[in-house]
Amino acid sequence: MRRHIKPEEFLNSLVNYEKISCYHYDLEAYKKFLEKLGSPHKKLKNVILIAGTKGKGSTATIINSCLIASGYKVGLFTSPHLLKINERIKINNKAITDEEMEKYIKIIKPHINLRTRIGARTFFETLATIAFMYFAEKKVDFAVLEVGLGGRLDATNVFENHIPVITRIGYDHMNLLGNKLSQIAREKAGIIPDSRFQITDNQIITIHQRPSVETILKKVARKRNHRIIFADELHTIKIKKLTLAGTELQITGSLGDFKSFLPLPGEHQIENLQNALGVLYTLKNKGFNIKIENIKKGIENTKLSGRFEIISKRPLIIYDVAHNEDSFRALDDVLKLICNITKKGHRIPLYLIFGCSKDKDINYAIKNIFPQAEEVLLVKSDNPRLMEPIEVFQKAQKYQKNILIAGSIKCAIEYLVPKLNNNAAAIVFGSFYLYPEVVRSLNLDYSY
């Protein structure tokens, strides 16, 4: 009798560029693969495709929440996952079940040559295909898709007519996308569809970027007959109060004037919200039922794990997915919020647990965040792409004298817990891959 293979086991048997440091990709071959399956992506309507270096997940999640609050059925495809692969594919915030994944894998698997690896599809392509098929079968009103890597060659970039959104572009995956911001921007701008022969008003949503990035975006948009909508010109967002739980906001602009609360802490989330509002404004102009009261509700209902998430209040342990320069800078800013939880407003003692991938530039973190800590504990999760702690130690010892290498995240947490009284906090950051071990170490009951 053939052994039953679970969806996660099958998907993990495929080539996974999230876990290996190379990238050989053929988007045209993937499109032909989709044709064999009936081109499920062509059955989707109202696709919103989000690329960028920083803020893709937050922007996608805010858009998703606001559209659901507006009464729409919304498919959401994001990456990577934190605990279970199913998290990546959701309809109205409910993750796809194992049974549903198995159904689509049975259809897809005969078209994947696992023996010879010739024409074999990757982990991410297969997941994207499952998302397309699932969203099409369930007839979602919107498909909000987060680009996996880059944009031009990403498996999500198979649509001829979608709303492209580009969040903050910075340095990340330089070994794959290029060492210059202009090169990285060109890859991200690859999600702008070529609409030179269409009469309709095609738009790309973004915020004002660094000059070299903005130049590329304008050039590509003009060439492909797209008008750039700068979302930070459409809406002004004033911060009324910053807290560890989120931010009280006053929003003024094209959609109207209203107050709201975004449960994603940090000033850096403002531009992600602006991008989301830019998309909602565009959809309203296209005739969709977008009202202020539903936007307000959607913003307030936004949930996104891993973004400066308080995963334990006593002891105070916070997890953040910061893993590149821009996100390290954002985390550095958010750390100032910790002052708010002390009676006298002084910075409380900070302890850091850090692990990162081999291809990440961690200079900002070790020069600016590490020195703020009482101690830094270096860890490595169970992933071949993670940098050895001794390598981080060698880079960081100039900036922080109190550095320890922990045998595991569980060991690091057990070591720190006695030090985390009411006047101290631990921040775990550097990689998405640390999250499951943190949850297991704290015996948290997270279900998706």
Q: How far apart are the first and last CA of the chain?
A: 31
Give residue 74's identity as a one-letter amino acid code: V
Cα–Cα distance between 353 and 241 in angstroms, integer?
28
> Who wins on pLDDT, 337 or 379?
379
Q: Do 165 and 263 have their domain in common?
A: yes
Q: 238-253, pLDDT tens digit by residue? A: 999 988 889 999 999 9
Residue 345 sits in a domain of what CATH number? 3.90.190.20
Give me the number of domains the chain comprises. Answer: 2
Q: Do 47 and 162 have their domain in common?
A: yes
Is residue 383 included in any domain, yes or no? Answer: yes
Which secondary structure element, helix H or strand E, spans residue 103, and what is its range?
A: helix 98-108
Residue 46 sits in a domain of what CATH number? 3.40.1190.10
Is residue 366 included in any domain, yes or no? Answer: yes
Q: Do 363 and 215 have their domain in common?
A: no
Q: 106-161, pLDDT tens digit by residue? A: 999 888 866 655 456 889 999 999 999 999 999 999 999 999 888 888 999 999 88
Cα–Cα distance between 119 and 290 in angstroms, integer?
43
Q: Do 282 and 359 have their domain in common?
A: no
Q: Do 295 and 183 have their domain in common?
A: yes
**Cα 156 versus chain centre, distance:** 14
Is residue 175 included in any domain, yes or no? Answer: yes
Is residue 1 included in any domain, yes or no? Answer: no
Is residue 2 included in any domain, yes or no? Answer: no
Q: Do 281 and 315 have their domain in common?
A: no
Q: Do 105 and 73 have their domain in common?
A: yes
Beta strands at 256-262 and 74-77: parallel, antiparallel or unpaired: unpaired
Q: 230-240, pLDDT tens digit by residue? A: 999 999 999 99
Cα–Cα distance between 202 and 192 in angstroms, integer?
10
Say if residues 333 and 408 touch (Cβ distance below 8 Å).
no
Which residue, 242, 277, 300, sits at the end of a domain?
300
Which residue, 236, 267, 300, sits at the end of a domain?
300
Is residue 375 included in any domain, yes or no? Answer: yes
Tokens of 445: 């009951």
Cα–Cα distance between 165 and 151 in angstroms, integer?
11
Q: Do 221 and 361 have their domain in common?
A: no
Write down the pLDDT at residue 339.
60
Q: Do 288 and 269 have their domain in common?
A: yes
pTM of the model: 0.91
Q: Do 357 and 258 have their domain in common?
A: no
Domain that holds residue 216: 7-300
Q: Do 243 and 385 have their domain in common?
A: no
Contacts of 137 (CB under 8 A, 6+ apart): none
Say if residues 378 and 406 touch (Cβ distance below 8 Å).
yes
94, 260, 272, 329 from 238: Cα distances, Å? 32, 11, 14, 20
